[in-house]
Amino acid sequence: EPEVTQTPSHQVTQMGQEVILRCVPISNHLYFYWYRQILGQKVEFLVSFYNNEISEKSEIFDDQFSVERPDGSNFTLKIRSTKLEDSAMYFCASSEGTGEQFFGPGTRLTVL
């Protein structure tokens, strides 16, 4: 069964450093997403990506964040200058544009 994959599973970084989180969505899906979840809290929408461009982003997705689909399979989230409050689980998801999204296992980002 196809699945969304994410790497790394855990990333530790120093405050102010750049990180890139990687995702491989399900191959025939058209919409790609990044969400984050701070420990014990709800899942928060960051950005959706369709037809090689951002289709929607939340207030959280400010200038320090960027997304890219560098080739036909990978989908990345870059955080330019990490802050302590960026520590969270970051989930990638993909969908065919229906009410069902498929989530990856997540990357736990720890900013020290």
Q: Among residue numbers 3 through 62, which ones bind other proteins (CB under 8 A)?
A: 31, 33, 35, 41-45, 47-50, 54-57
Kindly state whether residue 106 participates in binding other proteins, applying the rule CB under 8 A: yes
The CA–CA distances, whole Å, from 106 to 36, 63, 88 equal 9, 22, 10
| DSSP assignment of 2-70 | ---EEE-SEEEE-TT--EEEEEE--TT--EEEEEEE-TTS-EEEEEEEETTEEEEE-TT--TTEEEE--
Tokens of 33: 């997403």
Nearer to other proteins, 82 or 107 (CB): 107
Kindly state whether residue 101 participates in binding other proteins, applying the rule CB under 8 A: yes
Tell me how far, at minimum, the Cβ of 92 lies from other proteins, in Å: 9
Nearer to other proteins, 79 or 106 (CB): 106
Kindly state whether residue 98 participates in binding other proteins, applying the rule CB under 8 A: yes
Nearer to other proteins, 79 or 91 (CB): 91
Tokens of 86: 């960026």
| Chain residues in the site for other proteins (CB under 8 A) | 31, 33, 35, 41-45, 47-50, 54-57, 91, 95, 97-106
